[in-house]
Amino acid sequence: MTRSPNYPIPKLLIAANHRLDLWTAPEWFSDRLTHDFPQIKVVRITNDDSIEQEISDAEIVFTSALSPEQLQAAQKLRWIHSPAAAVHHFLFPEFVNSDVLLTNARDVHGPVVAEHVIALTFALAKRIPAAVRFQQQHVWGQEIAWRAGQRPREVAAATLGASASTQRTRSQSSSKKFCRLLVSTNCSGAPIT
């Protein structure tokens, strides 16, 4: 697609690279965006060697990290979207004082975090870490654990306390299906509804 010089094609730079493939934007992601949004030039880089060159004319960047030098090189940058929930590393003075919009994927991670909380609750209540250690040592540890007071607990009648400063706690409320009561507060101490 071509546009007049007064309205050049906006560029989206996908620079989500990580040593763990799970956190690297796959090729199909940029292909899909190119197909769905032909009015945008989509560029995906697979290492950080070319980020300063590619970011210079990008209006939108999909990345989980950006340095002050990269921000300075980004002359047309208007929006950064981070696939991570945490964005504290973007809060350096140059970025905070810029007009660049920052969004993140915090709500996407909520169900995963809630399920992780539920899994850990069951693991700790049922003393699974100790059971695994006994198995690794080829020891029948039921009596040892029982006499040491490390007895499994039932989760159905338990009270689960949680405290968080993010909206993740709302997703954790799904654990109500397994526990009688979820007590949670935010940083101010007010209940989260």
Please give the backbone phi and psi of residue 180, each rounded to the nearest 5 degrees, phi first.
-70, -35
Domains in the chain (CATH in brackets) are 11-104 (3.40.50.720), 109-185 (no CATH)
Q: Residue 54 and residue 48: Cα distance in Å, rounded?
A: 10
| Alpha helices (H) in 37-181, listed in sequence order | 51-55, 68-73, 93-96, 110-125, 128-136, 142-147, 168-172
| Structure tokens belonging to residue 98 | 């810029």
Per-residue model confidence as pLDDT tens for the chain (193 residues): 555 566 678 999 999 877 777 778 889 999 999 999 999 999 999 877 888 889 999 999 999 889 999 999 999 999 999 988 889 999 999 999 999 999 998 777 777 888 888 888 889 888 889 889 999 999 998 888 888 887 888 877 677 665 554 444 444 454 444 443 344 444 555 554 4
